[in-house]
Amino acid sequence: MTPGPPRTLVVEADGGSRGNPGPAGYGAVVRDGATGQVLSETAAYIGTATNNVAEYRGLIAGLRAARALDAEASVRVRMDSKLVVEQMSGRWKIKHPDLRPLAGEAASVFPPEAVAYEWIPRERNGHADRLANEAMDAGRRGEAWRPAASAARPAASGAAAAGPGEPDPAGAAGTDPTAPAAAAETSRGWSADLGTPTTLVLLRHGETPLTPHKRFSGSGGTDPELSETGRRQAEAAAAALAARGTVQAVVSSPLARCRQTARAVADRLGLAVEVDKDLREADFGAWEGLTFAEVRERHPEDLDAWLASPETAPTGGESFASAARRVEAARDRILERHRGRTVLVVTHVTPVKVLACRALGAPLEAMFRMELSAASLSAVACYADGNASLRLLNDTSHLH
């Protein structure tokens, strides 16, 4: 008798950290691939860890639960972590030393050919997200998560059947991505109600005399002011943001081009400007004021190394990895001071790209694949559990 095809199991996994790093937990669900029926739930509080570590731990737990059900199964993993999905699919390198052993552990549970990975939007991963939050809540009380206490099972089984055509409330036509995300977007019956997120509206400063020539302009050289074009761009951004009426606070890089841009908006809105030194641009060292071609001619080896790794600094400058750490510290301070509000953050290319990468769970190498125009608007919604979503990137419609 010819054996039939292997059984298909679906693993949905998630992890979270309240602080990143902070108190962390994971959750995972195993479903029957044919019926969608929940076959197994698992969750645990893991102490202090980052979001990425918690997500990998959730993946490992889900795969192990699937193997306990059927070691010969074909497995489809569905997660809202772009980082984990791309790394486990082999498309992104795993550079962080804390993640390499976790990825190896996950890869060893089933033969590689038996597992396929799929990224899904966060709202379609509500069951695993709920379990992860239950585990973190239990850990806060000094308890272990217990399946009998789970509130996720009844509502989640119906939610998981949503197909690729399910509407995305964050991208619905006619919405303002710079406005606070509605709490209902994160609590549609099967995920934790995390309250109103803090929305960071990210405004790159207007043009300076260096901008049209694409010269490196960081925090280590001169501090150019806005050009006439840049001042017009700042006023256009101010008018657009005033018309939307959602901004409740303004925070700026200390550099002149940002403070001038921030002042144009703040004056229109009747707000003060807070300054955070960690929102400054990266220091490009000896490359300050040079074009890319000039750097290629004068520092070819340094440029190649910089393009290959965010850990590498420009000649005498600051690496993207180092800049990212201080930008994240600035973000956390803003979130602490302005929880649940909409905050305009006036800053530079590198900080905006860092915050976009962190919201997407993408590696810093993805910064080289983003384009940011002068005076462009982007937006990130930051939730109470440490997760975030990118709601807008490089919008220049107010300039036309």
Q: 92-96: long-range contacts at Cβ-Cβ below 8 A with a sequence spacing of 24 or more?
A: 92/363, 92/365, 93/363, 95/309, 95/311, 95/363, 96/52
SS3 126: helix
SS3 42: strand
Examine the residue annotation and report whether 205 is marked as an active-site residue of this protein. Answer: yes
Paired tokens of 160: 């998981």
Paired tokens of 391: 């709601």
Which letter does DSSP use for residue 5 in this model? P
* C-beta of residue 84 within 8 angstroms of C-beta of residue 59: yes
Marked catalytic residue, from 127, 205, 299, 348: 205
Examine the residue annotation and report whether 398 is marked as an active-site residue of this protein. Answer: no
Cα–Cα dist 74/296, whole Å? 49
Pairing type for strands 38-49 and 74-79 reads: unpaired
Q: Identify the H or E element spanning 305.
A: helix 300-308
* C-beta of residue 87 within 8 angstroms of C-beta of residue 94: yes
Marked catalytic residue, from 185, 281, 288, 318: 281
Residues annotated as part of the active site: 205, 281
